[in-house]
Structure formats: structure tokens, C-alpha cells
Amino acid sequence: MNFSRTISFFALSVIFSFSISSAQSTQNRPFELSLGKEATIISAGAVVGAAAFLIMSNNSKLTEEGVNSLSRGDVNGFDRIAVGPYQEDVLGDALLYGSFLLPVTFLTYEDTREDFGTLSLMYGEVILVNAAINGLVKGLTTRNRPFVYDENSPTDKKYEVGARHAFYSGHTSTTASNSFFTARIFSEYLTNNTAKTLIWCGAALIPAVTGFSRVNTHNHFPTDVIVGYIVGAAIGYLIPELHEYENQSSEPVITDQIIHKPIFGFQISF
């Protein structure tokens, strides 16, 4: 997943959300925003993202000597199944870019449409945090992609900096964060359990198919997509969890039957 494109998606989400969220109220809504919380998440994401960008920018390409010294035997037995000639991942790319449209479905449902500004900012944070963490790990680990170990892969692909950014799969983590975020939001608004189940099944399936396609086209190892799935799903689920609206009112509800009865008592406050 291209790091700069992901950050662009984040910027657009934030700009759009601020343009419409000022007219919305969090009262009686499942999610709420707070200045301190948003500042913390966005600032932390920005710092990690900047570090990731600098590290990835300074990653060196593989040399001819380095490529020639590689062999399939260097890969652990579990991941070796992914070694093969480079292939364009049409399916994986389609699922990746299509997953960015999933939150747009909030506009199709009245309650989520009314909260679209809040949800857009939360989604922007999902994009930022996912891209920042993924970029940082890729830049620090510089793991070779599976096709680098295959003698039939195009030489120019092996010598790209991106050939050393296998761990972990950005395609998988991004589709997982997008789909799990969408499912988590809808599960809070919808009351139909069948609809919720179908949405969660779709959310789980999209990144799974993406991960399979990344391995099948020799762009990632199985461990790359497994970790990407877990991290992306966690981010997509936890960002809404951090924004759940908490009703602080603890006053007891008095029914009509009790209201008309005489009540005697006293209270001491300190």
C-alpha cells in the first residue's frame, strides 16, 4: 500500500469531517468526539507516520550481489509456499481501493448519515494509525518479498525499494481496518441481528481474500498477511471503541407509580 496515498485519504477524511461535524450533537449518539482524545490520537499518528516516512525513505535497495546470494532455503518452511515469480495483484488492488469506499455506506442509513461528520473523523484516525504503524514496521524490518527469491521474477522489481517492504502486508491491514471499522460502526446502530451477522461476515472475508491474493501473487508471505489482518482488524475495531459515548447520568428512573407516593428521607452531602 502506497504510504503517501494513504495519508492523503486521511487528510481528506479529516477536512470533510470538520466541515460538517460542527452542526452535530453527540447527545443520545453511540459515539462522541473530544478535543483531548482526538488531539492525542492524531498527534501520535502523525509523529509515528513522520518517523515511518523518514525511515522508509532511507531504506536502501537490494544490490545485485545481495539478490544473487538469496535462495529459497533462506525462507522458513511455513512461508516458503509463497516464493514464486512476481505477478500483478489485480484482485488485491481492487479490494484495497474498494475498501476505502466501505464507510461511504454510512450515508445510506439515516442514523449513521446524521453522525457522518463524527464517523468521518474517526475513520480518518483509522487510516492514519494503520498507515503509520504499517509504514514504521515495514521500514524497520526491511523483509524481502517472496518474489525476490525466485529467479524468474523481473530484475527491475527485485531492485525496487518496495521489494524490501514485505512485513507486514499493507493491503491486508488496510482492508481489515476499513472493513472492521465499518462493521463495528453498523453493529452499534443496527438492531437487526441478521444484518449485523452478514456485515461482520463480509468484514472478515474481505481482508482474508485480500491476504490470500497477496500470497498467491508472491507479494507477501503467509506471516505477513496474518499479522496484517490482526493489526488492521484491531485498529478498525478499537478506534470506535475509544469513542463510545458514555452516559454519565446515574440518576434512578422513577416510574409514574412511585411519583404519586409520599417519600420521606434526607441526604447528607460533603
pLDDT of residue 268 exceeding 70, the answer is: no
- Averaged confidence pLDDT in the chain: 86
48-93: per-residue pLDDT in tens? Answer: 999 999 999 999 999 999 999 999 999 999 999 999 999 999 999 9
pLDDT of residue 32 exceeding 70, the answer is: yes
Taking a C-beta distance cutoff of 8 angstroms, is the pair 42, 133 a contact?
no
Q: Looking at residues 31-47, what average pLDDT do you find? A: 94
CA nearest neighbour of 252 among 241, 265, 239, 243: 265
C-alpha span between 230 and 260 (Å, rounded): 56
pLDDT of residue 238 exceeding 60, the answer is: yes
Q: Which residues, including other chains, have CB under 8 Å from residue 101's CB and lie 6 or more apart?
A: none
